[in-house]
Structure 1
Amino acid sequence: MLKLISVFDATGNQGGSVIKYILEDPLLSKEYKIRGLTSDTSKGPAQNLAQKGVEVVSADLNCVDSLTTALEGSHTIFLVTESLGVSNVELEFSQGKNVTIVARNLDVSYIIFSSLHVEDATEDNLRSFPHFDSKANIEKYIRGSGLKCTFILPGHFMSNFTQMLKKAEGGKYQLCCPVDGKKAKFPLFDATDTGTAFEALRCAR
């Protein structure tokens, strides 16, 4: 009997990459059935997944009842939460908390979370990064939940590369990186490659 993996962000870069990886892997595709979770199942990307054999289900991260229905029967969950900005750090945390509570109530075997954290990693030398902090708090909550878990920490998205190019005087362009390359290594990551880092799923078998 196939195990069910429920993938959040099914039509996005990270979740979509995970789904693609499983579908194309000769072993994982025979072991897991995929349920793609999205906010709107009627849109083109969701319908494309359905045509590939993915069960596409609507899920509201803010509603425990919706999540309970969407995650029913899941063996494994791949969770990615959306960064909601400085004013909504608590909202993003509550969404991750909702998924964790539902997963525990449904006796889900394994959860994999796309996380970020900076305070602990820098021994508190860097603080107040809402985009990182909310995910770090979700990770801590998952770790304390008793669920078997693994965390993926992606680097800076390559898709943001063009946003760092600024046109200067004389028509030349400057590459404005958020770190000093002479003092720190800068991890770059293509979100569409999330699936290739998904060997953690093999540990859930």
Structure 2
Amino acid sequence: MSPKTALVIRATGSQGKATTEHLLKAGWTVHALVRDPSDIRALNLKIMGAELHKGEINDIPSVESAIAGCSAVFLNQMPSLTDIEEETRQAGELLDAAKKAGVNFIVHATTLPLNDPNHAEKVGKSVVATAVLGKGKVEQLVKASGIPFTIIRPGYFMTNFIAPLVGYMFPTIRSGVFLSSFDPTTVLPLVAPNDIGALAVAAFEDPRRFNGQALALAGENLGLHDIATALSAVAGKDLKVDFRSKEDTAKESATNPIIAGQLVSVGLEGLWDAEEVKTWGIPLTTFREFLEKNKDAVMA
């Protein structure tokens, strides 16, 4: 087993790609678990230098093959909106495979709402409750696994404001209206996937420092009008901020996970400490920097 070989789960996703890039830059060998090795996103990882391994986290034989020879794992999972046990089943099997393979460190990416000790009460019976609580259950599995670990709890993803995700998250932005169900005073703790990758690799490189910690990560807190101003400046197009009525929000949030997720995101800005994050020594990405770097996706 190489001391600097890592398996990256969901390697073509935004977090997986960022972590793969940072690992390769730090001299690691990366086993990238990908659903389709012929997909352009997977091929880009191969061009960077990653070794592609076809499979998914719910296909344990493919995980066992990909994890062979690895000393570390970056674990990030797609949340389930319907089955609270789905993530724990998948993670449990992966952790068993990690133990058998001799993995000695895991970085697990979850979600910032778990930094609130009252998160279960806050999400209540929301349609996104299963997604949030499921990640909490996996955190407990990781902590109990006996494998040294670091947990990263990222804030609100900046990628939600650019193509392709913006079409699902805020579809009216395409017509110049930033319509949401946030409270007008909402401040969002924005995070760039690149920063998640940077922190993950910092933990892999210095496990003694980061072992056993749950780290709340964001790049900056921004209000909705500031977000719209930044988008307008980069896109060269005025963006109007608007809000759904409380009646429409209450009605649609019962079945729409996007709107329910916006409600759950209110109040997150106080769950991370910017001064603490600075002590970790990773460069943080501002929202404006992120938009400029991804200007093509903004324009799309």
Taking structure 1 as the reference length, the TM-score comes to 0.82
Match of 1:144 in 2: 144
Match of 1:193 in 2: 195
**Higher mean C-alpha deviation, range 117-126 or range 71-80:** 117-126
Match of 1:103 in 2: 98
Q: d(CA) in 2 for partners of 1:172 and 1:2?
A: 50
Cα drift, residue 175 of structure 1: 4.5
Q: d(CA) in 2 for partners of 1:179 and 1:145?
A: 39
In terms of fraction of residues, the more helix-rich structure is 2
Match of 1:204 in 2: 207
Q: d(CA) in 1 for partners of 2:139 and 2:39?
A: 30
- Return the index of the structure with the highest Cα Rg: 2
Superposition CA RMSD, Å: 2.5
Q: Taking structure 1 as reference, are residues 12 and 174 closer, same or farther at Cα in structure 2, changes over 3 Å only?
A: closer
Match of 1:131 in 2: 131
Q: Deviations for 1:160-197, whole angstroms, at most 9, x for unmatched residues?
A: 23434757xxx873542545636xx5311122432222
Residue 39 (1) aligns with residue 23 (2): no
Residue 67 (1) aligns with residue 63 (2): yes
* Residue pair 1:10, 1:38 contacting (<8 A) in 2 also: yes
Match of 2:7 in 1: 6
Amino acid at match of 2:191: F
Report percent identity of matched pairs.
Answer: 24
Unaligned ranges ≥5, structure 2: 209-300
* Residue pair 1:100, 1:145 contacting (<8 A) in 2 also: yes
Describe the SS at the equivalent of 1:153.
Answer: strand
Match of 2:76 in 1: 80
Q: Deviations for 1:65-121, whole angstroms, at most 9, x for unmatched residues?
A: 222111111100001101232x13322221111111111222210010111264672
Q: d(CA) in 1 for partners of 2:146 and 2:24?
A: 29
Q: Taking structure 1 as reference, are residues 93 and 117 closer, same or farther at Cα in structure 2, changes over 3 Å only?
A: farther
Q: d(CA) in 2 for partners of 1:120 and 1:10?
A: 25
Amino acid at match of 2:153: L
Match of 2:116 in 1: 121
Amino acid at match of 2:157: F
Q: Taking structure 1 as reference, are residues 122 and 43 closer, same or farther at Cα in structure 2, changes over 3 Å only?
A: same
Amino acid at match of 2:117: T
Q: d(CA) in 1 for partners of 2:30 and 2:80?
A: 27
Describe the SS at the equivalent of 1:126.
Answer: helix
* Residue pair 1:77, 1:110 contacting (<8 A) in 2 also: yes
Q: d(CA) in 2 for partners of 1:90 and 1:159?
A: 27
Q: Deviations for 1:20-41, whole angstroms, at most 9, x for unmatched residues?
A: 12223xxx21xx2111111111
Residue 92 (1) aligns with residue 87 (2): yes
Q: Taking structure 1 as reference, are residues 41 and 144 closer, same or farther at Cα in structure 2, changes over 3 Å only?
A: same
Q: d(CA) in 2 for partners of 1:119 and 1:35?
A: 29
Taking structure 2 as the reference length, the TM-score comes to 0.58
Q: d(CA) in 1 for partners of 2:203 and 2:177?
A: 40
Number of matched residues? 194
Amino acid at match of 1:195: G
**Higher mean C-alpha deviation, range 158-167 or range 46-55:** 158-167
* Residue pair 1:4, 1:76 contacting (<8 A) in 2 also: yes
Match of 2:22 in 1: 21
Amino acid at match of 1:81: Q
Question: Which of the pair has the greater relative contact order for Cα pairs under 8 Å at 6+ separation?
Answer: 1
